Amino acid sequence: MSDILANLYPWTKAFHIMSVISWMAGLFYLPRLFVYHAEQATKGDQLDQTLQIMEFKLLRLIMGPASVATWLFGLLLVFTPGIVDWSAVWPYTKALGVIAMTVFHHWLMIQRKIFERGENKLAGRRFRMMNEVPTALMVLIVISVVVKF
């Protein structure tokens, strides 16, 4: 099995990077949609309905599959011999960042359901602040992997 993973390493890495880019695009965009939803839409109006469709499709058709693919290809990379130095700190800081990113993704899913029910209580400002979370986590993850401290 390790020979197969080693031979597929360039492909696995390429698909992991593409998955991460797709997932991150959604993690950056969805909180911005929530800002517009919180500040400009009223329950049941045309904008509310349009934003609900956009938010649903972004989560289910792009972010969901991209997050699963990111995890799948990431775990394949972890199990590829010689890729991860478990005596270093970076695999653990990266793992912490990816887990936090996944928790943030799930928080966004909960917020979408709250908008769907018309029960949002958070202001647009809060969603603007939350829009910075994926950026901070991305910095942690990229520095962990590239600098390998």
Q: Report, as an integer, the average pLDDT of 88-97.
A: 97
pTM above 0.95, yes or no: no
Residue 93 confidence class, pLDDT cut points 50, 70, 90: very high
Residue 2 confidence class, pLDDT cut points 50, 70, 90: confident
The boundaries of the domain holding residue 131 are 2-147
Q: How many domains does the chain have?
A: 1
**Would you say residue 1 has pLDDT above 80?**
no
How far apart are the C-alpha atoms of 34 and 121, rounded to whole Å?
12
Indicate the burial class of 69 (C-beta count within 10 angstroms; 0-12, 13-18, 19 or more).
Answer: middle
How far apart are the C-alpha atoms of 77 and 84, rounded to whole Å?
8
**Would you say residue 68 has pLDDT above 90?**
yes
